[in-house]
Structure 1
Amino acid sequence: MKLSRTARIVLGCVMAVGLAFVYLPLLLVLVDSFDADRSFGWPPSGLTGRWWVRALHSEGAREALLTSVRAGLGATGVALVLGSLAAFAVHRYRFFGRRTVSFLLVLPIALPGIVTGIALNAAFRTVLGPLGVGFGLLTVVVGHATFCVVVVFNNVAARLRRIPGSLAEASADLGARPWRTFRYVTLPSLASALVAGGLLAFALSFDEIVVTTFTAGPGTQTLPIWIYGNLARPNQAPVVNVVAAVLVVLSVLPVYAAQRLSADPAGGRL
């Protein structure tokens, strides 16, 4: 479809406004992390890098970062296993309720986070409580995995739809057993989709706060929860800005890498 010059200008302006609405607040956080003043304010009274040094030596921020990394890696590992298996089952086999399974796998990411958090909180209290398992890193990992499975499932399912079935058939015709076919034919074709799905899952888990609030125990504090808890402390405002800027960068990098890995050599997206 060919658009007129006026339509292109209007669409370009709308796009610019939309991007500015999303990214200008992130830019303000980055600028505020160098503000010499202790309080949130604009314009900055001066520029300094001492808050970055202070954030580097903040024990609470370091522990929260380590907890977020652990939770992200754990949720990503669970999501890679469950999401991949579910994608293979839905793609390779025809069974009753196949569409329902696909719908149920995608549903958690569409539900409001507070609904998922309340449901998981009630489930953990009912199931894990009598077993003596309290809220902590394990419950956070399980909570994050519920929506991280979706991105892995979507990436692997999309790639499986693009892999010709003739490759596996040719491998079988040449005498390869199913496991050997999977190892040398299917898995290499899925490698970039698995990595992309894992990176997206880690990014989702790393900056999650709503579900974490309902599934973390008193001693479990991820980086987003640490930021939220220190916002009201005046002396911590500059350090919070620094940690928030780092969180933005750490969240953008895996998403960008996943987008590059998901790129179709022909110019599309898998």
Structure 2
Amino acid sequence: MHSEQASWGLRLAAWGGLVFLHFPILVILLYAFNTEESAYSFPLRGFTLEWFAVVAGREDVLQAIILSVKVACLATALAMVLGTLAAAALYRRDFFGKESITLMLILPIALPGIITGIALLSAFKSLGIEPGIFTIVVGHATFCVVIVYNNVIARFRRTSHSLIEASMDLGADGWQTFRYIILPNIATALLAGGMLAFALSFDEIIVTTFTAGHEQTLPLWLLSQLSRPRDVPVTNVVALLVMLATMLPILGAYYLTRGTETVAGGGK
């Protein structure tokens, strides 16, 4: 009879991989509270919250945060609408070209970000659209749609179509059926998809680099800080805030969608 427990070697390898992946995050966390101003000195010279106050008083940081939140909210809202409509159209019906449409939905997140960014920039230039907030939102929405689509289509497949038919048979119109039957069934999947889309949009940098123009989101601000070694503590604090802002929605989405791993189309 085989034991269900993993061997010590496998456990050690797993824990080693986790430490390797999360060690850089731990370094940023520690040095965000370091009293040393301009260098990664070890051991830490002391513990301070001074840099959080500095970040709160930096106008450029606050403007970058506001822009990132605005872009993420708009891109998420657009992705939730388009992703839900696409899932509703594709989850049950078979028609010519369905696989091609599915591929086009998934392609932006499967392609390297630099390819997506160049393609979007070329498209905007050919249409005479100058890079700005609009182009950033559209660029982010292209890969956020598939996140919402995957979550919602998995929930649609778990929802019995007989509920919809019964609602219509009892005299409900399309809006009432959506409001009282469909929406309650897909609500958590829709929310989880939206949270994941927000997290992806908030820390996106590659596509943003090609579509931002003169705008500066928070990830672009962090990138520009690499040439300013005297701002290392401030950069660490901002990086820590970005990690928290992206980690919490991902954890929330995981909690809302756990148990759907075996559902077709339920990719996370």
Shift of 1:243: 0.3
Cα gap change, 1:143 to 1:189, in 2 (>3 Å):
same
TM superposition outliers: structure 1 runs of 4+ over 3 Å: 1-5, 266-270
The answer as to 2:242 corresponding to 1:242 is no
Q: Which residue of 1 aligns with 2:252?
A: 257
Q: Which residue of 1 aligns with 2:133?
A: 137
Cα gap change, 1:227 to 1:267, in 2 (>3 Å):
closer
Q: Which residue of 1 aligns with 2:88?
A: 88
Q: Which residue of 2 aligns with 1:70?
A: 70
Q: Is contact 1:32-1:40 (8 Å) kept?
A: no
Q: Which residue of 2 aligns with 1:47?
A: 47
Q: Please tell me the residue identity of whatever aligns with 1:232.
A: S
Q: Please tell me the residue identity of whatever aligns with 1:262.
A: T
TM-score (norm 2): 0.93
Q: Which residue of 1 aligns with 2:111?
A: 111
Match of 1:209 among 180, 185, 205: 205
Describe the SS at the equivalent of 1:157.
Answer: helix
Match of 1:167 among 142, 163, 166: 163
Describe the SS at the equivalent of 2:227.
Answer: coil
Residue by residue over 1:91-116, the C-alpha shift from the partner in whole angstroms, topping out at 9 and shown as x without a partner, is 13221011111111111111100111
Q: Please tell me the residue identity of whatever aligns with 1:228.
A: L
Q: Is contact 1:160-1:190 (8 Å) kept?
A: yes
Q: Please tell me the residue identity of whatever aligns with 2:224.
A: G
Q: Which residue of 1 aligns with 2:12?
A: 13
Q: Please tell me the residue identity of whatever aligns with 1:118.
A: I
Shift of 1:119: 0.8
Write the distance in 1 (CA, Å) between the matches of 2:204 and 2:4. 42
Shift of 1:40: 3.5
What is the percent sequence identity of the aligned residues? 48
Write the distance in 2 (CA, Å) between the matches of 1:176 and 1:2. 56
Q: Please tell me the residue identity of whatever aligns with 1:101.
A: I
Residue by residue over 1:121-150, the C-alpha shift from the partner in whole angstroms, topping out at 9 and shown as x without a partner, is 1111111x2xxx411111000000010001
Q: Is contact 1:38-1:234 (8 Å) kept?
A: no
TM-score (norm 1): 0.92
Q: Is contact 1:208-1:224 (8 Å) kept?
A: yes
Q: Is contact 1:56-1:62 (8 Å) kept?
A: yes
Q: May I ask how many residue pairs the two structures share in their alignment?
A: 263
Cα gap change, 1:146 to 1:91, in 2 (>3 Å):
same
Q: Which residue of 2 aligns with 1:226?
A: 221
Write the distance in 1 (CA, Å) between the matches of 2:102 and 2:163. 25
More displaced 10-residue stretch of structure 1: 67-76 or 16-25: 16-25
More displaced 10-residue stretch of structure 1: 8-17 or 224-233: 8-17
Q: Is contact 1:65-1:223 (8 Å) kept?
A: yes
The answer as to 2:37 corresponding to 1:38 is yes
Q: Please tell me the residue identity of whatever aligns with 1:208.
A: E
Shift of 1:267: 9.3
Cα gap change, 1:169 to 1:227, in 2 (>3 Å):
same
Q: Which residue of 2 aligns with 1:102?
A: 102
